[in-house]
Structure 1
Amino acid sequence: MLDLDDFKPVTLDDQEIFREQYRQYPQVHSDNTFTNIVCWNHYAHYQYATLRGSLVILSTIDGKTAFRDPIGPRDPELFDRVLELAGEVEQKRPFYILNPSTIAWLREYRPDLTLHPDRDDAEYVYLRSDLADLPGKDYLSIRRQLNRFNKHCTSTVEAITAANLEEVRTFLNRWCLWKNCDAQEILSSERDAVFYAIAHFQRLELSGLVVKVDGEIGAMAIYEQMTPDTALVHYEKGLPDCEGIYKAINVETARHLPESCTYVNRESDIGLPGLREAKTRYHPHHMIDAWYIKPEDF
């Protein structure tokens, strides 16, 4: 059965293994996407194992290891084994569940387990049409800010391509200087993650947009097709040079997505009050919940 020796570090060369597994078992939480895993590998030190048609992922952050529910066919024996391995690590939250269908299954298979919701990692999913059109009174304030941006700022929109990737890097360096990334571990790690995404933009099959103000990039977004009906926005950054520029990059991203994308996943708020308020203001259609199991619940 599964042992720790069966796990190996995730590398960019493993992309097709993950993509093929996800074609069979689509993922709805961004933390399981290969792009997030490989871009944040410097921070979370991901490893994976494959067994009996399932993919099992673990991460190690600050020396603390946590496992995730297996991705694949329902396999009670494998699930129990991963839970057993999680029980052997010293961690307050050694086991995460990022698949909503697993929660429904566990409530029948293991009703004895106590499942704890992780609000900080719950992800916001919006209707693409809402983000693109900003309809009705719920979006009145956002429309006003966008109108002010359009009135006071001369802007253009471009797709991110190989031709302007260097401009994007220059913009990100400016953004990090403004945010003082080196003084905050999470921002420093995010900087490394987004630069990795830029460095492997084509290979990861990413898409993106920039909003230029007076000829210079003032905001950017990087995204990908997550499932047939959902786009995932990985990174969205803007400089304070022109008020309302975040509203502009948000709406332009939604407008440039194909109509087949009914939904847009804009990831979690990681427990930051300001970010939670900003994401809530756009009125998500639904949330993708994350759950965890404590050692005393095993």
Structure 2
Amino acid sequence: MEDIILFESVAETTLFKSIDINAKSILEPYFELVDYEACEYCFATLYMWKNVYNTVYYVEDDFAIVSGEYEGSDFVVLPLATKENMSKAIDFILTYFKNEEKKVHLRAITKEIVDFMKKKYPRKFEYIEERDYFDYVYNGESLRTLAGRKNQKKRNHINYFLKEYDNRFEYKKLEENNQFEECIVLLNEWSQGSEDSEGFKDEFEAIKRLFNHYDELKNKLKIGGIYVDSKLEAFSIGEMLNDNMAVIHIEKANPSIRGLYPYINQQFLVNEFSDVEFINREEDLGIEGLRKAKLSYHPSRFVEKYTVLEI
């Protein structure tokens, strides 16, 4: 039986429900109301990490609210609502926190909504720029072709891979349970000796959740892999975030095979997102190596995110 979280609002008792696979059909119409570019705003992201953040949701006719928990503090992300109904949604959030006798805490809030809130609620909130959570956005054609001097090193790595493993590799779209099992085998192999065992466990469970419910998610979710000598050695998971932007949720490759990471990066886009204008490769979480890797692909811009706290 799904969990239900109760709180008393001014007008009535409302219900927050835990996100499960059945919430997809409920929330998708609300995602279609918005064209947000941040990686948090698609069902697969919320569903993948639902256990990490204890994610719950609430819907009305005009908006949907997604809430979670981070470091012991309840938070809400940007409401799924049209611009015309944004005030109504935010007022609902303010009432929620007031009735819970908690300070308002919003996460992954875009600059546009920050500007809106500063005007509507002057001197009520503190706005914190979260650079570690900025999403990296790239020109899709640039990632598919890797043209120009700035991408010479990437092309060199790919060319090494192509020459070294000539006629020994192939790209495949992954859609079958046995292929997903191969991905799980790889994850287990690569986890050996990992220093961040808790982080790996969370990611492992998030990926398994997508595989276990691929049938329900496959209308949007795309998964591709690279086989070397008939063995899966890399895979990537992504989907369309809005009409002109894809988001890459997961990218994994055998680090001992030179050129494999840039090759799966490129080929996943070439095969699954061949004409998508922009690619969101999510945030770097402040991890130095990850930031260096994401910057090396020369992002065209960032999706800025803010934490909003009631003063």
Same fold flag (TM > 0.5): yes
- 2:105 alignment partner AA: P
RMSD: 2.3
In the other structure, the counterpart of 1:281 is 296
> Which of the residues 200, 203, 210 maps onto 1:190?
203
Matches within 5 A, 1:91-240: 94-112=105-123, 113-153=125-165, 154-162=168-176, 164-177=179-192, 179=194, 183-205=196-218, 206-240=221-255
User: Is 1:67 the equivalent of 2:72?
Assistant: no
Q: CA deviation at 1:228?
A: 1.6
Distance 1:50 1:68 in 2: 14
Distance 1:9 1:218 in 2: 35
Contact 1:48 1:55 in 2 (8 A): yes
Contact 1:221 1:237 in 2 (8 A): yes
| Cα gap change, 1:89 to 1:186, in 2 (>3 Å) | farther
**SS of the residue aligned with 1:114?**
strand
Q: CA deviation at 1:41?
A: 1.1
| Cα gap change, 1:286 to 1:61, in 2 (>3 Å) | same
TM-score, structure 2 normalization: 0.86
Contact 1:175 1:238 in 2 (8 A): no
Number of aligned positions between the proteins: 293
- 2:172 alignment partner AA: E
In the other structure, the counterpart of 1:33 is 42
Q: CA deviation at 1:100?
A: 4.3
Q: CA deviation at 1:76?
A: 2.7
- 1:110 alignment partner AA: Y
Runs of at least 5 residues in structure 2 that lack an aligned partner in the other structure: 1-8
1:203-246 deviation per Cα after TM superposition (whole angstroms, max 9, x unaligned): 11211111111111111001111112111111001112311211
Distance 1:236 1:97 in 2: 22
**SS of the residue aligned with 1:294?**
strand
Runs of at least 5 residues in structure 1 that lack an aligned partner in the other structure: none
- Going by fraction, where is strand more abundant, 1 or 2? 2
Distance 1:150 1:269 in 2: 28
TM-score, structure 1 normalization: 0.89
Distance 1:15 1:215 in 2: 35
Q: Identity of counterpart residues, as a percentage?
A: 21
Distance 2:175 2:143 in 1: 23
Q: CA deviation at 1:5?
A: 4.9
Q: CA deviation at 1:52?
A: 4.8
- 2:175 alignment partner AA: T
